């Protein structure tokens, strides 16, 4: 167990701009990097919870920019899933793809299986960000990270990032 793993409880931040959200995303990515034993042979999953307009896609765009995604990142609401190549050398030794999922229109995790979700989870080179994970809680892995985003006002968001080790995500 690394020093990060021993002291990590959760990370909280309140942001008032996209730039501050990007700074927080960098903290989250650094924390994820300290958890090599959490999902050694599996994808790293971050469940993004928050009301409509809370900032899930903005957070995902920030992560994408940091890891070197060259494409424009938009919410995959209608296509459910988008995959992007990670090009930032600081991350490519661990990850090759950023998988962005929006489960808002789904009724259960069974629908994710037609998209090969189990295969994605078993690829340790995937960083998977899931918007509306509450819709597919039945297929989330035992170990994942949860990011709760609260819309405080038009410009302010409150973030709570924590690890989930029992496979149970509080709604």
Report residue 75 as tokens. 């919410």
Six-digit token pair at 13? 């931040």
Of residues 110 and 20, which shows the higher confidence score?
A: 20
- When the pLDDT of each residue in the chain is averaged and rounded to a whole number, the result is 88
pTM of the model: 0.90
Q: Is 33 helix (H, G, I), strand (E, B) or coil?
A: helix
Check: CB of residue 48 under 8 Å from CB of residue 28: no
Note the pLDDT tens digit of each residue in 27-75: 999 988 766 545 567 899 999 999 988 999 999 999 999 999 999 999 8
Distance, CA of 110 to CA of 74 (rounded, Å): 24
Dihedral angle sign, alpha carbons of residues 145, 69, 4, 125:
positive
């Amino acid at each position: 167990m690394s020093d990060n793993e021993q002291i990590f409880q959760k990370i909280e931040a309140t942001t008032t701009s996209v730039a501050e959200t990007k700074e927080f995303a960098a903290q989250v990515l650094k924390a994820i990097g300290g958890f090599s034993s959490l999902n050694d042979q599996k994808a790293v999953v971050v469940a993004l919870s928050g009301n409509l307009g809370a900032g899930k896609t903005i957070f995902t765009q920030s992560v994408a920019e940091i890891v070197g995604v060259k494409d424009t990142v938009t919410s995959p609401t209608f296509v459910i899933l988008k995959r992007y190549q990670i090009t930032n050398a600081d991350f490519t030794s661990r990850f090759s793809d950023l998988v962005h999922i929006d489960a808002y229109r789904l009724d259960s995790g069974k629908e994710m299986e037609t998209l090969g979700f189990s295969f994605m989870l078993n690829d340790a080179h995937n960083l998977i960000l899931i918007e509306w994970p509450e819709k597919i809680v039945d297929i989330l892995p035992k170990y994942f990270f949860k990011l709760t985003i609260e819309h405080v006002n038009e410009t302010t968001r409150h973030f709570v990032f924590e690890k989930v080790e029992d496979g149970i995500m509080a709604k």
